[in-house]
Amino acid sequence: MAALLLIPGIAVGLYVFIYYNFIRGRQCKSELSLMGKTVIVTGGNVGIGKSSALDMAKRGARVILACRNQETAEAAALDIRRLSGNNEVLFMKLDLASTASIRSFCKTFLSSEPRLDILINNAGISGKGKTQDGFNLVFGVNHLGHFLLTHLLLDRLKQCTPSRIVVLASNAHRWGRINFKNLNPPGETWLEVTRAYSDSKLANILFARELANQLQGTEVTCYAVHPGVVLTNLGRSLPYLLKVVVFPIGWLFLRTPMDGAQTSIYCAVEEGIEHYSGRYFTNCQLQQVKPHARDDAVAKKLWEVSEDLLGLNK
């Protein structure tokens, strides 16, 4: 009997050792206060976004949860206020799949909030379909939506320097390619969705790179981050049979949302990393990306094409 009881104990101990040493990743050690600062977190109602927002709130920031789903966002705001003891946590409606919604959000925010110190472009999607403006859903939300949002909020960030922009990317960028002849694939098959996701994450990194070039001398800095492989609801649109297989394994061997949020938090608050603006971070440390993810010519062209797609040059 004693041996039978010992086996589960060893298994649990081994799992804890593996998780904390090989899965969890580094933690942000900064204790920087954000009192008097304002932070926007897109997708701040669930997963990595909610964990990032909770950390910002614990530091004393005024936190805006920019989310599509009002019910879950208001519940998240209430939860974050309770856990942080900070009542300055608010929901504002934002649907990144709609340029009209993005513009409406920015108009509301800019007319009601005098400050913006940190913008965390966290929200992401992986699914079939198109945005309300006819873009591939994944590329439209993950890249174009945040591109437009950042563009419209940039002047306020410049007014509140030093300020920061954090862009949630992914190591999936390694398999991404920017095909300027086909930036808007149909997104009707899971193969197309997978490709579009990798492409969008590459676009996130190139966006941060070109944004940093354009922000030189402004004291606004930006960083692309990889959160690790995290158990979130990003896979909510996966086929049911795949969910049945993936989620139980993920519960054991993927990072928690709070552990996955650490690099986003690090790039939002860590002092002394300003000269790394435009670079890519993972596990709270700088990481070199593959050559195709640091191609300045492609980054600049993607910026220009994105402006054209969104009508920002008119």
The count of C-alpha atoms lying within 13 angstroms of the C-alpha of 199, restricted to the half-sphere facing its C-beta, is: 23
Active site residue 276: no
Closest CA to 126 of 66, 45, 201: 201
**Pairwise CA distance, residues 28 & 282, whole Å:** 11
Catalytic residue among 15, 19, 20, 197: 197
Longest dimension (CA), the chain: 77
Using alpha carbons only, give the angle 137, 140, 141 rounded to the nearest 5 degrees. Answer: 85
Tokens coding 189:
């098959």
Q: Using an 8 Å Cβ cutoff, are 60 and 35 in contact?
A: yes
- C-alpha distances out from residue 271 to 28, 33, 53, 62, 163, Å: 11, 12, 19, 20, 12
Closest CA to 64 of 119, 111, 145, 102: 119
Alpha helices in the chain (DSSP H): 2-18, 47-58, 70-84, 99-112, 137-139, 146-159, 190-214, 240-253, 257-260, 262-269, 296-309
**Pairwise CA distance, residues 202 & 205, whole Å:** 5
- C-alpha distances out from residue 163 to 135, 197, 293, 308, Å: 30, 28, 24, 27
**Pairwise CA distance, residues 215 & 21, whole Å:** 37
Residues recognised as catalytic: 197
